[in-house]
Amino acid sequence: MSLTGKTVIVLGAGRSGRAAAALALCEGAEVQVHDAAEKIDGMPNGALLHAGATPESGALAKCDLLVISPGIDTFGPLVAAYSAGAGEAIGEIEFAYRYFEGKVIGITGTNGKTTTTELVERILNAGGYHAAACGNYGVPFCEVVLRDPMPDAVALELSSFQLETIWSFRPDVAVWLNFAPDHMDRYPTVEAYFAAKLRIFDNQSESDTAIVRQGEKLPALKARTVTFSTEDESAEWFSDGRVLKRRGEVIFDLEATTRMRGLHNAENAMAAIAACEAIGISLEAAARALHGYAPPLHRCELVRTLDGVEYLNDSKATNLHALESALRSQTRPVVLIAGGKQKGLDYAPVVPLLAKKAVAAVTFGQIAGPLAEVFSKAVPVDQVATLSEAIEIARRHAPRGGTVLLSPGTSSFDQFSGYEQRGDTFRELVLNLR
């Protein structure tokens, strides 16, 4: 796709927008960056900057190509206004894909994407590829495409927001980890969120591969399908949370050689191995890559053991499904700390699991009241304002041999800049307990 002499507008001045602008400039385009912020910083030299973007300014803008950053609502008035004057409107993932020359393993799902993406990158590199993890995972895809040399494979984490704006994007391997309601503050219905996720399969053919969790209610797929499960032993890959089996044969022991624990991590590992095997990576290389692996921070991270109580940081649990996964994986009596932003989710489904796994709960933040009302049907609940207060009360309730589990079940933006800051704060407060 030649951009020489063409005008490209990049809508959104975050890291994805910066990378898209750099790629467009490299390909010879005249580049404008528009953002609703009052000031735009950090853009590559040569890009024309337009701060204070509004639907009114968008209605006047003209371009050959509009590249939309994933943080901007694809169906909102700002994108609608800018799209009206654009020859074509795409997202940063689609833009990068048009210039990428290597293998693509795309990973989506409500939960587990980041861990699986890390594992895929490790396995690819162990198997002889020059690979990079990118997308919703830290580094924008456009930034990777600009590397010299360009990697010959990517582990590409894909959010529903990023998948909304693909058109020709076709991963060699598409990984579907799971699906549960989320982002109801952006999508009008659960069905709309599901449809956005499903776009990962849109352009695959019989020569491609889909790695799918057994039991997911997906339409018929064109790609060859490989299944994994921790519930159904008829799946091609199955695990009890410790050993991974393929067609009944033990392939790997998670507890013996990694720091991964729980059914959800077993699913992530199976999906990653199966995805890499689909493009020719041996199981031996995958085993080498997983040896000694520890999951990313904020995902059931063991912070410390104090007075016989484990403190786990699962701040990455920003929805109900992630909270359920964390609870299900626990083998010790739990005092759950949950809370954060009100996202309009229904937490009633967690009540039976909470009654089974927890002895108490503490809720905090904007959603503390509604959560306390739901959770009180299963366990005693304390409602507080801050995470610091929640930790102090949870400590009092936790029995020796138990676990204090921060698994918020919603996003952090009522009190924190993101789940990382929330998890870092939890870790610091716990390490300072005496």
pLDDT at 187: 80
pLDDT, position 84:
97
Share of residues in the chain with pLDDT > 90 (%):
83
Q: Which pLDDT band holds residue 182 (cuts at 50, 70, 90)?
A: low
Flag whether pLDDT at 331 surpasses 90.
no
- 273 shares its domain with 396: no
End-of-domain residue from the set 93, 128, 144: 93
Residues 247, 166, single domain; the answer is yes
Q: What is the CATH number of the domain that holds 50?
A: 3.40.50.720
On whether both 129 and 171 belong to a single domain, the answer is yes
68 CB-near residues (< 8 Å, 6+ apart): 11, 12, 74, 79, 82, 89, 90, 91, 92, 165
Please tell me the predicted confidence (pLDDT) of residue 181.
Answer: 64
Residues 222 and 322 in one domain: no
Residue 2 in domain: no
Question: 423 and 368: one domain?
Answer: yes
**Domains in the chain: how many in total?**
3
Which of 258, 290, 322 terminates a domain? The answer is: 290
Q: Are 175 and 320 found together in one domain?
A: no
Q: How confident is the model at residue 330 (pLDDT cuts 50, 70, 90)?
A: confident
The answer as to whether 366 is a domain residue is: yes
How many angstroms separate the CA atoms of 108 and 136, rounded?
10
Give me the pLDDT at residue 185, please.
Answer: 65
Q: What is the CATH number of the domain that holds 341?
A: 3.90.190.20
In the prediction, which pLDDT does 317 show?
92
Residue labelled with tokens 């030649």: 2
Query: Looking at the structure, do residues 192 and 79 belong to the same domain, yes or no?
Result: no
- Look at residue 310 and give its three-state secondary structure: strand
Beta-carbon contacts of 183 under 8 Å, excluding residues fewer than 6 positions away, are: 160, 193, 343
pLDDT digits (tens, 9 = 90+) for 52-80: 999 999 999 999 999 999 989 999 999 99
Domain co-membership, 261 together with 212: yes
Give the domain-ending residue among 230, 259, 290. Answer: 290
Q: Judge whether residue 368 has pLDDT over 60.
A: yes
Nearest to 316 by CA among 193, 409, 197, 195: 409
Query: Chain-wide mean pLDDT for the chain?
Result: 94
Same domain for 26 and 146? no
Residue 337 forms part of a structural domain? yes
For residue 332, name the pLDDT band (cuts at 50, 70, 90).
confident
Considering the chain, what percentage of its residues have pLDDT values greater than 70?
99
Are both 108 and 80 inside the same structural domain? no
Q: What tokens appear for 243 in the block?
A: 């050993």
Question: Which CATH number does the domain housing residue 158 bear?
Answer: 3.40.1190.10
Whether 11 is in a domain gets the answer yes
- Residues 25-38 pLDDT 10s: 999 999 999 999 99
The reply to whether 295 falls in a domain is no
174 occurs within a structural domain: yes
pLDDT at 184 over 60: no
Domain that holds residue 358: 301-431
Sheet holding 48-50, edge to edge: 48-50, 30-34, 7-11, 63-68, 86-91
Task: Report pLDDT digits (tens) over 80-96.
Answer: 999 999 999 999 999 99
134 and 277 both lie in a single domain: yes
Q: What pLDDT, in 10s, does the model give residues 228-263?
A: 999 999 999 999 888 999 999 999 998 788 878 778
Q: 363 and 232: one domain?
A: no
Q: How far apart are the first and last CA of the chain?
A: 61
Whole-structure pTM value = 0.79
pLDDT of residue 112: 86
Q: Is residue 296 domain-resident?
A: no
User: Is 183 a residue whose pLDDT tops 70?
Assistant: no
CA 24/CA 15 separation, integer angstroms: 14
Is residue 186, in this structure, part of any structural domain at all?
Answer: yes
Q: State pLDDT tens for residues 114-165.
A: 899 999 999 999 999 999 999 998 799 999 999 999 999 999 999 999 999 9
